Amino acid sequence: MPTTHTATIVERIARLREAMHQQQIDALMVPSADPHLSEYLPSRWQGREWLSGFTGSVGTLIVTPQFAGIWTDARYWTQAEQQLAGTGISLMKLTSGASVQYVDWLAATMQPGQTVAVDGNVLGLAIGRQLALALQAKDVTLRTELDLLQQVWQERPAMPLAPVFEHLPPYATQSRADKLAQVRAAMQQLGARLHLISALDDIAYLFNLRGSDISYNPVFLAHALIEQEQATLFVTAGKIDAALNAALAADGVRVVAYDTLAARLGQLPADSTLLIDPRRISYGTRQWIPVRVHVIDAINPAIFAKSRKSEADLVHVRAAMEQDGAALCEFFCWLEQTLADSARAPLTELDIDREITAARARRPGFISPSFSTIAGFRANGASMHYRATPEHHAVIEGDGLLLIDSGGQYLGGTTDITRVVPVGAITAQQQRDFTLVLKGMMALSATRFPRGCKSPMLDAIARAPLWAAGLDFGHGTGHGVGYFLNVHEGPQSISPSAMPEPHTAMEAGMITSIEPGLYRTGQWGIRIENLVHNRPAGQTEFGDFLEFETLTLCPIDTRCVELALLREYERAWLNNYHATVRARLAPLLSGPALAWLEQRTEAV
């Protein structure tokens, strides 16, 4: 018998197929995206999840009259298999996170004269161009003007209406006017008189504004059009109050209705030169730009400025890391005491999320988690983006490894950390696996590299200890992190699926995660993650060099380490790190939490 969940998904797909038939559509593609190509989505644009029941943040759904499939990468395979079971939707495994194999599948499957549809407003421009060329070669029609979800999703959420607020000094260390001036200078270098921005974190950074339209990411839905003398923000009415509107106006920023962008672009004169970033704008938005306008394709200048945190920013980031680390010490102290209490009620993965968030909430400057906490015990830890739910979660008892990946949004920074702790007794193989992951994390953390080194090139350093043992992991080693912004940002990406293009160059000020892992399906998962900052490491005749300053402050559980596998320099790195953690966090702690910190930072 199908469950209520699977029956609901089957009914929704049937309803969608009926709408496709009415519109004479042979295949519908539903990306995981909104009109701003966000990684995490407002509820209104979570159509792929609503249709399929698959909750991973990455995935593309394709539905035909006879087939339905979700394309997603290795981080979500285990999760997708569980959530798609019984729905009639197949898991289609992407070999890398950057793959667009679903485009190849459509080109190979569709027949001449058939029609493929996708809402162009949520289709990335770069992928849309690939799709259009591939289908054109097969004489297949591509329709991008339809939003079939609007027809079948009767209870579809409305646009979010949460207010926009200003990111103020001292945490906002550069004025809005100065940031706009820098972007305009970059526009002039590229020969552009106007610049259209749709990426929400770029807009939030550039205008020193924040919001809560997307869970965990302090951004708001908007487009921005930058001109030489003024800028226009396209925002839903009522989200910016009179006082903030006046402050924006003083900096030459005009606020207009969100849904007037198409009309504004349609009015651009023939001699306009407009800069857009084809990786951060939708296919539908691009179609609003008249053919008479000269379009310059280049990366948003704000991306580079946003990624390079200033020394003033880093003062606040380090302070946020201290508060975050102190909260984690209190949490882990509570966790160990609770697990040792035989009279307690059973502890579950859901309790981890509640308690770790409560510990952070007691710290100054805390706003919210920076993503949904991952707490995976035993086999659940092997699902890279596992999320405990009331319907599916584990009780933490007996022996095993508990993986906890969590983070916080603070006014002075964004945190992201993963730690693995033992529950009861752990095996020699678990210790060995943990130690190999730790060796990879330490190897990359201690690396020096030339300024401008392409970030994907660093990935192999963290994998080398695992590769030497015939092991590997199916996700990138590191991602950029925002400054009270998205926990995932670019342009840097330490990942084998990222191309080492010029814009991925490592520059001073960037904050990046280092998070190698190892996952044994059905058994356990291990990931150790710190955030690091690129800082100058001197100059030689071969150029400027950079090194990593580790920003994250929280003990790494040495009970999981097979000490015999560590070399002397690795022991030294671990002991030095723990000495720093103790020195920085001890002033913020007292009582049992301080005692826990001192015990967990003892030298090995």
pLDDT tens for residues 162-188?
999 999 999 999 999 999 999 999 999
Distance spanning both ends of the chain, measured CA to CA:
55
Confidence class of residue 3 from pLDDT cuts 50, 70 and 90? low
State residue 341's pLDDT score: 86
396, 362, 365: which is closest to 379 by C-alpha? 396
Asked if residue 504 and residue 413 are part of one domain, the reply reads yes
Tokens of 572: 């030294």
CA atoms of 309 and 329, how far apart (whole Å): 27
Asked if residue 387 and residue 251 are part of one domain, the reply reads no
Asked whether the predicted pLDDT for residue 1 surpasses 50, the reply is no
What distances in angstroms separate CA 197 from CA 138, 222, 331, one per listed residue? Answer: 33, 9, 40
Asked if residue 313 and residue 296 are part of one domain, the reply reads no
Sequence letter at residue 207: F
Q: How many domains does the chain have?
A: 3
State residue 322's pLDDT score: 98
**pLDDT tens digits for range 350-386:** 999 999 999 999 999 999 999 999 999 999 999 887 8
Sequence letter at residue 262: A
Q: Does 132 reside within a domain?
A: yes
* % of the chain beyond a pLDDT of 90: 90
Rounded to 5 degrees, what are φ and ψ at 37?
A: 60, 40
Asked whether the predicted pLDDT for residue 515 surpasses 80, the reply is yes
Where is the domain boundary, 111, 128, 152?
152
| CATH code for the domain of 387 | 3.90.230.10
CA atoms of 390 and 413, how far apart (whole Å): 31
**pLDDT tens digits for range 247-287:** 999 999 999 999 999 999 999 999 899 999 999 999 999 99
Q: Is 257 exposed, middle or buried (0-12, 13-18, 19+ CB in 10 A)?
A: exposed
Asked if residue 323 and residue 283 are part of one domain, the reply reads no
Contact at 8 Å (CB) between 54 and 83?
A: yes
Where is the domain boundary, 301, 327, 351?
301
Asked whether the predicted pLDDT for residue 99 surpasses 70, the reply is no
Q: Kindly provide the b/e burial profile for residues 533-559, where b requires at least 16 CB atoms within 10 angstroms of the residue's own CB.
A: bbeebeeeeeeeebbbebbbbbbbbbe
Tokens of 279: 């990786």
| CATH code for the domain of 107 | 3.40.350.10
**pLDDT tens digits for range 222-258:** 999 999 999 999 999 999 999 999 999 999 999 999 9
448 membership: H or E segment, kind and range: strand 448-450
**pLDDT tens digits for range 144-166:** 999 999 999 989 999 999 999 99
Q: What is the mean pLDDT of residues 78-100?
A: 83
Across 16-20, 346-350, 383-387, least confident range: 383-387
Asked if residue 63 and residue 37 are part of one domain, the reply reads yes
**pLDDT tens digits for range 478-513:** 999 999 999 999 999 999 988 999 999 999 999 999
State residue 77's pLDDT score: 84
State residue 2's pLDDT score: 45
Contact at 8 Å (CB) between 220 and 204?
A: yes
Q: What does the radius of gyration of the chain's CA atoms come to, in whole angstroms?
A: 25
Give the domain extent around 479: 308-600
What distances in angstroms separate CA 559 from CA 42, 127, 315, 394, 594, one per listed residue? Answer: 41, 47, 32, 23, 18
Asked if residue 547 and residue 418 are part of one domain, the reply reads yes
Comparing 78 with 241, the larger pLDDT belongs to 241
Q: Does 159 reside within a domain?
A: no
Per DSSP, the residues of 444-492 read HHT-EEETT-BGGGGHHHHHHHHHHTT---SS-SEEE--SSS-SSEEEE
Asked if residue 527 and residue 450 are part of one domain, the reply reads yes
Confidence class of residue 387 from pLDDT cuts 50, 70 and 90? confident
**pLDDT tens digits for range 101-155:** 899 999 999 999 999 999 999 999 989 999 999 999 999 999 999 999 999 998 9
Mean per-residue pLDDT over the chain, rounded: 95
Asked if residue 349 and residue 214 are part of one domain, the reply reads no
Q: What is the mean pLDDT of residues 188-209?
A: 97
Asked if residue 192 and residue 132 are part of one domain, the reply reads no
Residues with Cβ within 8 Å of residue 202, at least 6 apart in sequence: 280, 300, 302, 303, 306
Where is the domain boundary, 152, 182, 210?
152
Q: What is the mean pLDDT of residues 439-467?
A: 98
Tokens of 361: 């909430």
Asked if residue 370 and residue 273 are part of one domain, the reply reads no
